[in-house]
Amino acid sequence: MKTKVAILFGGRSAEHEISIISAQNVFQALDKNRFEVALIKIDKQGSLLPVGGDYFLLEEQKKAITQGEELFLSPSTKAEKLVTKTGKTFPKVDVVFPVLHGPFGEDGTIQGLLSLANIAFVGCPILASAIAMDKAMTKQLALINGIPTAAFVILKKFEKDSLSFEDLEKELGLPFFVKPVTLGSSVGVSKVTNKAQYKKALDLAFSYDEKIIIETFIKGREVEVGILGIGAEVKASVVGEVKTDHDFYSYVAKYTETEGLRMEIPASIPEDTAEKVRELALRAFKAIDGVGMARCDFFLKEDGTILLNEINPIPGFTQFSMYPKLWEATGIPYGKLIEKLIELAITRHEAINKLKTTYD
């Protein structure tokens, strides 16, 4: 019997389009002889819309896309299914694969809804997802666990005028980066070298988030590690390095002007350094109570110092994405990686359902 998988993609965040590209790759990689695949798109208003496999056709071919009624998920452990406005039942699925990036998908919200409905899902649970998506919380928790990070300052919107450019220049040096705390794909990120840029950077970051993080510039290399597994079986991939001809690894560099983007897998670094990066990645994943998958990003300074940058609970699955490439280099091809993630999700869900979660 085939395992029924629902790929959940799109979403309300600024990374909506990237999610669609990732979902297309996951859909194409799944062995249709082993899996029965359903596609559910979350539009930019948050509606859950079932779509057919023809959704991933080229834009000019999308005139007759198959789309069903809007879906609703009951937060009941007895439901385990989605229904339409008119009461029609969407076929029950064994597991949901959320291929969502950013708020309302990668931050614990969807994970919470699926948990309430007692549906297995791929990736980190609620708490780990929420912590990983909040760059400030990730760094604070990392420091508590002895994992070094770049110097940073947290700023909330109501405190916007409390830190001057001069204050930050003195504390962090120049240049520094201004980032929304709960977005990925470098959306809303600015590199600041002067006062005028600082004001624009604040306005941009606060247009995406109520809380931002301001970090010192690290001169060095950006290396990344894939994490896969649950419990004592969690493993780290080989270390990869991101190289770009752009000023920094921005959204444009990642997805639109990729000519100057290069990924070196494995990274050309000493073996003992690579092993230390892998060890720190596993510690970081454990610190947030991670389950299933994540990509851990680090800065490697010229003097050999390793600094945690961020943890991505739902890493990209596009053709340019590091996470699947890292595991391919480690010995797990793209299709097998997707299958492994689904197997882990079902295993974890079965274990959770054996727990006593209510009082008699």
pLDDT band at 72 (very low <50, low <70, confident <90, very high): confident
Give Cα 340 to chain centroid, integer Å.
Answer: 18
Predicted local confidence at residue 57, as pLDDT: 67
Which token pair is 83?
A: 């229904």
pLDDT band at 352 (very low <50, low <70, confident <90, very high): very high
Q: Please, are residues 253 and 260 in contact by the beta-carbon 8 Å criterion? A: yes
Residue matched to tokens 């006062």: 195
Predicted local confidence at residue 251, as pLDDT: 47
User: Tens of pLDDT along 204-261?
Assistant: 999 999 999 999 999 999 999 999 999 999 999 999 999 876 555 444 444 444 466 7
Pick the more confident residue, 32 or 53: 32
Domains and CATH numbers, the chain: 3-121 (3.40.50.20), 132-146+220-350 (3.30.470.20), 152-216 (3.30.1490.20)
pLDDT band at 90 (very low <50, low <70, confident <90, very high): confident
Predicted local confidence at residue 257, as pLDDT: 47
Spatial separation of the C-alpha atoms in residues 3 and 59, rounded to whole Å: 30
Spatial separation of the C-alpha atoms in residues 224 and 311, rounded to whole Å: 10
Pick the more confident residue, 320 or 282: 282
Poorest-confidence range of 38-47, 131-140, 178-187?
178-187
Q: Give the mean pLDDT of the chain.
A: 89
User: Tens of pLDDT along 126-150?
Assistant: 999 999 999 999 999 999 999 999 9
Q: Which of 310, 277, 13 is nearest to 133 (CA)?
A: 310
